[in-house]
Amino acid sequence: MADHLIEIDRVTKSFGAYTAVTQTSLTIARGEFLAIMGSSGCGKTTLLRMLAGLEEPSSGEIRLDGVLQNGLPAWERDLPLVWQSLALFPFLSVLDNVSFGLKMRGMAKAERHAKSQVWLKKLELEEFAQRNVSQLSGGQRQRVALARALVTEPKVLLLDEPLSALDAHLSVRMQALLRSLQRELGITFIYVTHSQTEAFSMADRVVVMSRGKVEQIGAPKDIYRHPANRFVAEFIGNVNIFRGLVEAVAHGVATLRTPLGLMTASVGKVEVQVGAEADFFINADQMQLGPAAGEANHMQGKLLSYKFVGNMVTLYLECAGGAELKLNIPEPAYDSAGIKIGDTLQTNWTASAAHMFQQSA
């Protein structure tokens, strides 16, 4: 990822009175796996369609390798798109589906079939070459769509929620395949998804969008541990968010008065003003079960429900004033605690586990 391959410069896209993407600027590095995520209607697919040449920006510029793409039709761009629906040709064989793009480029039949066979072998589809795509499983059709896009050896591959129709087990396998392929080929992948799991497991960087704007860009770990604002924190979903009045700031720690009592949080690089209200958050897996020791923050609440997630258990508590709290604990700790629905539980966390938002929500 030594240089910028794609530059999106102050791009806006409007459909009549509705603005889908607003003044968005973003650079994407050569060889990067970038995921763009957000809820439905956030503008992520519109941004992808503008890259592909299927929509024209209302204003702003898109450049590929320094060359302006505005005005270029989709077929003149080296930006193939793998659709959510896959868009395979049901009347063609697997081999002819994969070689279709090469045929459109005027490549001779023998040469394009030979090149397509290489990709079928790479994606473990060689035995299905003459089979009709309607006879394949969902995962096999997904790999056919990938082979069709990659056989032309593009600089960039665009993917629009390609795994959304697959079951959970197959989706995990395809995530591993996509990440492995991207690393092996060094092609820039731009992957649109609403799934946090997909984005965080594959991408080098993640873009979080809302209402046509970029809310945060960063490595998955940075976004998970340090969401930029309340929207990102709520979208990621594994956090507890509090608001309080800042009473003091000392040694990088703010003391805040909240409806649930005094709490402390790490300030980091955020500018905090005494006497102002501020939001802060604690990741659910940074909270501990049990009474506080020393000057740690503490809270108690009634256990409403719990959920098993792998080897972790998420506990949902109701605290004073109806405030909700969630914390993740290892399954062995849950088993040994012997807790049950309706129990009043003590929780605690350190000031270093709580963080002020980087910008106002």
pLDDT per residue as tens digits for the range 237-282: 889 999 999 999 999 999 999 998 899 999 988 888 899 999 999 9
Share of the chain above pLDDT 70, in %: 98
* Long-range CB pairs of 241-246, under 8 A, 24+ apart, other chains included: 241/279, 241/280, 241/281, 242/279, 242/280, 242/281, 242/282, 243/277, 243/278, 243/279, 243/280, 244/277, 244/278, 244/280, 245/275, 245/276, 245/277, 246/272, 246/273, 246/274, 246/275, 246/276, 246/277, 246/278
Q: What are φ and ψ of residue 298, in 5° steps? A: -150, 155
User: In whole angstroms, what is the distance from residue 317 CA to residue 304 CA?
Assistant: 5
Q: How much is the pLDDT for 293?
A: 76
Q: How far is CA 320 from CA 45, 150, 305, in A?
A: 42, 56, 17
pTM: 0.86
Q: pLDDT tens-digit profile of 216-231?
A: 999 999 999 889 899 9
Q: How much is the pLDDT for 142?
A: 84
pLDDT of 358 > 70? The answer is: no
Domains parsed from the chain with CATH numbers:
4-225 (3.40.50.300), 230-356 (2.40.50.100)
Q: How much is the pLDDT for 90?
A: 85
User: In whole angstroms, what is the distance from residue 252 CA to residue 274 CA?
Assistant: 13
Q: pLDDT tens-digit profile of 48-100?
A: 999 999 999 999 999 999 999 999 998 888 888 888 777 888 888 999 999 98
pLDDT of 156 > 60? The answer is: yes
pLDDT of 25 > 90? The answer is: yes
DSSP string covering 322-352? G-EEEEEEEHHHHHHHT--TT-EEEEEE-GG
Q: pLDDT tens-digit profile of 101-150?
A: 888 889 999 999 999 999 999 888 999 999 988 888 888 888 888 888 88
Using pLDDT thresholds of 50, 70 and 90, give the confidence band for residue 360. Answer: very low
